[in-house]
Structure 1
């Protein structure tokens, strides 16, 4: 079932799937309307007589004009899309191209123009005016005209969409929205009151002392771990009295033949006791956002790092990325991260994995930006401001400790790179909000 979900997600977000569906719909629509035209004389309806085409030559002329115009505009739309993708790739990086290809309006526009062309060809083919038969599909031609008018409006909307979709603020905002939706779907439970996040003092080795039999499952191919069905693995472990340990986190790169899952049992493994885990994970060529909460964070970090490169030197885009990441990290301070251990009803460990942690999310968001920010005081100062906002939004000591570590590293960058003494004094004053409060605690 997990593989089906991943395949369906990739299929519905591909650039060709929606256009093909629209083309198939246009073929079905053309066939249905032609059938109606053969069985109903719409020309006899008084209110429609003024707008229906009653001449075979006129019908052919209208359909030929619309079909020729639509396939020409489809080529233009495709060219505009390629230009936008080229600009986006050069400014934001090629890994963000998938975001543009996933945008539904781009898929719908391309599919609509091509499907209108196919629709007109089908209707044009059935127009008859000879000694044996006279058939003019008046309703089908009227629908073609309406579709042509709608496509003109759609072209204006598409050009407007493309013109704003490659703006840096819009790109960052879209990634931030996708990131928040993804996080809300992965982390559904929030911490309450002064409750501290759960930590485990007992090591995994202590739980495994009574499980001498070990079976290692190797990765069938190289690639990124895109999907892992944790609940299914946990249920399998309970059913067979195993302890199942996954050795990689979602988004990790796995080499073919590398240890991926370990099974621990009190008794010797047999052929009957072995489980087929192939449906519980998916390995692909690239990272996806479906279960990987850090994927969108890395996309935003990439934009920020490229903006801070000497060739682009755009600190304002980097600051925009920092602001959006700050919003996400403030939200994560209230989230209950999943435990690395799962126990059955008898309080026996059955499943151990490497879940996301707040420290890991904070590192993913700000470590690389800090490393690239040297030489840009405005960005370093905004990083410290981000730490202050995150520090003020959490009441949990484990989160404050992680924020303090980042604040110390950011202050070190300022001390090593700031040439203006006033800028450094300002940074030191800001850092005291975090560092002195943490020392008091």
Structure 2
């Protein structure tokens, strides 16, 4: 077994959760099993009012159920068409990395499940209806037919809701707001029990460390760091992973380095070391946001840079994306970041796994818009305003304040503005940003500055 059961199941569950077929498939199974169960209730108990259930003939039941099944399948085809259009628009207008977020959306999966379940349920009830003749008594599962009618109304309601949801969900501000919410939730996966805010950097492996080569291609999606450290301690080895969560790993390239308890000793057999590492990591076919702090910022940065492309030329959307990144960065700014380092009681590093630090996350958020929006005063102003927001959260941390100040200087230096009014405005916002960084709070003139 090359991957520990827990890690493998977690990786598979992420892939299943993000698929569009899992919940509808479970709904189909329920829709197949439910009609016979409802038929067992015939004749109906006396406490069920007869006026509330279907009272027609077998021929009438067949006609109704056939029409319901056909109409629901037709509506289901419309829903699938709307879904494909929504995915195409999201990929072309915003970023292809939004497709996974849309597919894993529980509302989308609920609509698909309701439509499929209603159609399958109607077909399942249809096969239970019997007409009298040739020694067979007429039978109409009245409660099941009634349930099929109710489900048809539910399917219509789901269609109306889905149309409303798609039209609302494709609004760029709603899309970015959902990315912000999910991104800030990822902080729960980052250890927050460190004593200091400065990013922790894992030590480099010693010269005698043995590389562990990846056995397959894929994005590094999961690392069971707790069990990996326990296994490394039991095996008498120390490990340093190379890729960060969300990085692409190519088969045959270095996935980690291993060495013995003493820096000048080897870790033993290379095959055993490789098996130990691969049992506790999961490489998937695409990047996920479940444990990746940078993924949400990457999505927002994609929206910003795509909006600044010549084909779209939408600096307003780019500035809005920068504003949303400010919300994410302000949450990250007050949280310990950097590499995950697991130490023994003697303070020696047992396992180290890289995570993006504050400087890398800030560059990810600012870099693309700074390069592609350097000629637009609104984008430059939005970037500087973002840095003002972040400055209020990092003024008491010398390391992070230095990173923010460096970004302020780079934004100002990269600005290519011909209008003297725009130049003065950007310079004024830059002064406000540096003053905020020095004082730790927003200066009173910020409204005029922005």
CA distance in 2, matches of 1:323, 1:23: 43
Say whether residues 1:28 and 2:40 are aligned partners: no
Instruction: Please name the residue that 1:152 is paired with.
Output: 156
Q: 1:277 to 1:7 in 2, by over 3 A?
A: same
- Cα offset, 1:129, TM superposition: 1.4
**What root-mean-square deviation, in Å, do the aligned CA atoms of Structure 1 and Structure 2 show?**
2.4
Question: Which blocks of at least 5 consecutive residues in structure 1 are unaligned?
Answer: none
Q: Please give the per-residue CA displacement for 1:276-300, whole angstroms capped at 9, x wherever unaligned.
A: 3322111122211122111111111
CA contact (8 A) 2:384 2:433 kept: no
CA contact (8 A) 1:190 1:335 kept: no
CA contact (8 A) 2:392 2:436 kept: no
CA distance in 2, matches of 1:270, 1:389: 51
Instruction: Please name the residue that 1:229 is paired with.
Output: 224
Q: Which secondary structure state, in structure 1, belongs to the residue aligned with residue 245 of structure 2? A: coil
Q: 1:35 to 1:341 in 2, by over 3 A?
A: same
Say whether residues 1:179 and 2:178 are aligned partners: no
Q: 1:142 to 1:370 in 2, by over 3 A?
A: same
CA contact (8 A) 2:392 2:437 kept: no
- Cα offset, 1:407, TM superposition: 0.5
Q: 1:281 to 1:270 in 2, by over 3 A?
A: closer
Say whether residues 1:239 and 2:234 are aligned partners: yes
CA contact (8 A) 2:54 2:143 kept: yes
Instruction: Please name the residue that 1:336 is paired with.
Output: 336
Q: Please identify, of 428-437 and 82-91, the stretch whose mean Cα deviation from structure 2 is larger.
A: 428-437
What does residue range 117-196 of structure 1 map to in structure 2 within 5 Å?
117-131=119-133, 132=135, 133-182=137-186, 184-189=187-192, 195-196=196-197
Q: 1:47 to 1:198 in 2, by over 3 A?
A: closer
- Cα offset, 1:389, TM superposition: 1.3
TM-score between the two structures when normalised by the length of structure 1: 0.90
Say whether residues 1:418 and 2:423 are aligned partners: no
What does residue range 41-440 of structure 1 map to in structure 2 within 5 Å?
41=44, 47-49=49-51, 51-131=53-133, 132=135, 133-182=137-186, 184-189=187-192, 195-197=196-198, 199=200, 204=204, 208=206, 212=208, 214-265=209-260, 266=262, 269-270=268-269, 274=273, 276-339=276-339, 341-394=341-394, 395-414=396-415, 417-435=416-434
Question: Which blocks of at least 5 consecutive residues in structure 2 are unaligned?
Answer: 1-5, 441-450
CA contact (8 A) 1:218 1:256 kept: yes
CA contact (8 A) 2:214 2:251 kept: yes
Q: Which secondary structure state, in structure 2, belongs to the residue aligned with residue 243 of structure 1? A: strand
Q: Please give the per-residue CA displacement for 1:57-116, whole angstroms capped at 9, x wherever unaligned.
A: 221122112111111111111111112222222211323222221212222212211221
Q: 1:45 to 1:330 in 2, by over 3 A?
A: closer
CA contact (8 A) 1:228 1:280 kept: yes
Q: 1:271 to 1:388 in 2, by over 3 A?
A: closer
Q: Match for 1:11 among 12, 16, 24? A: 16
- Cα offset, 1:124, TM superposition: 0.9
- Cα offset, 1:128, TM superposition: 0.9
Q: 1:95 to 1:328 in 2, by over 3 A?
A: closer
Q: Please give the per-residue CA displacement for 1:329-372, whole angstroms capped at 9, x wherever unaligned.
A: 11111101254533111222212332221111111111111111
CA distance in 2, matches of 1:322, 1:235: 41
CA distance in 1, matches of 2:270, 2:192: 39
- Cα offset, 1:165, TM superposition: 0.9
Q: 1:55 to 1:302 in 2, by over 3 A?
A: same
Q: 1:326 to 1:271 in 2, by over 3 A?
A: closer
- Cα offset, 1:383, TM superposition: 0.6
TM-score between the two structures when normalised by the length of structure 2: 0.88
CA distance in 2, matches of 1:412, 1:271: 49
CA distance in 1, matches of 2:251, 2:271: 26
CA distance in 2, matches of 1:381, 1:370: 10
Aligned residue pairs total: 427
